[in-house]
Homo-oligomer: A and B are copies of this chain.
């Protein structure tokens, strides 16, 4: 018997790569745990335990793709939330709150994106992830350059370290709050939105572009793309 009449999927799946990543996102959302197996994803996708290896060299690469998908979701969410908003300051606020929301609603995914599951002792994250993370960083940078901290900044070489410092201050605060909320060390989750907007507003009231100029040679953001 080569074919049954109904529901006989073809030998080739068609879009297994996306399906696998999607399955990983589902399982992450359901269990909120990073401890799932590559084989389980294959089962969910209805393929053999080795099929994923035709699309990912190893599990690490698979996780990197999931993380990259997380960054894309994050970037889209930030862009969407700040889209209708007018005023650079308000746009930045909206972005930062969207960032926190994303982390709080997807704690396991956020942990995968930032928790150091990827990138071994050499700090080298897979390229696909770096590219996705860089998009997020540049979106944030745009909002700051546009004047999110009170005044627009011309993007000169002289101002580069100033901009990076501003990004660092914003990102550190928001990243820290997000992780604490996602981890349950600060809560409750129902109040996450209120906590986030209070903290972000309070911060932005005080932050200025001049607050922190990065030391020479310091960077902010995924590394590979800088080494051009």
A residues apposed to B, CB below 8 Å = 31-34, 107-108, 111, 114-117, 119-121, 123, 125, 133, 165, 168-169, 171-180, 182-188, 191, 194-195, 198-199, 202-203, 206-207, 211-215, 217-223
The residues of B that contact A211 with a CB separation of less than 8 Å are 202, 206
The 3 closest A-B pairs by CB, nearest first: A176-B176, A172-B176, A175-B176
CB contact under 8 A between A195 and B176, given known A188-B218, A218-B187, A219-B186:
no
CB contact under 8 A between A32 and B120, given known A168-B186, A177-B176, A202-B169:
yes
> Are A180 and B184 in contact, with the CB atoms below 8 A?
no
> Are A121 and B32 in contact, with the CB atoms below 8 A?
yes
Give 14 pairs: A residue, B residue, CB < 8 Å, sorted on A: A33-B120, A108-B116, A115-B116, A173-B173, A174-B176, A175-B175, A175-B180, A176-B177, A179-B179, A180-B220, A184-B223, A186-B220, A195-B214, A206-B206
> Are A116 and B182 in contact, with the CB atoms below 8 A?
yes
Q: Identify the closest chain B residue to A186 (Cβ).
A: B220
The residues of B that contact A116 with a CB separation of less than 8 Å are 34, 107-108, 111, 115, 182-183
CB contact under 8 A between A184 and B217, given known A174-B176, A206-B207:
no
Q: What separation, in Å, do the CA atoms of A175 and B114 have in the docked complex? A: 12
> Are B206 and A188 in contact, with the CB atoms below 8 A?
no
> Are A168 and B33 in contact, with the CB atoms below 8 A?
no
The residues of B that contact A175 with a CB separation of less than 8 Å are 175-176, 179-180
Q: What separation, in Å, do the CA atoms of A207 and B34 have in the docked complex? A: 36
> Are B31 and A121 in contact, with the CB atoms below 8 A?
yes
Q: What separation, in Å, do the CA atoms of A123 and B120 have in the docked complex? A: 26
Which of A176, A195, A202, A203 has its CB near the most chain B CB atoms (within 10 A)?
A: A176
Looking at the assembled complex, report how far the CB atom of A115 sits from the nearest CB atom of chain B, in whole angstroms.
Answer: 4
CB contact under 8 A between A187 and B223, given known A176-B175, A176-B177:
yes
The residues of B that contact A171 with a CB separation of less than 8 Å are 176, 180
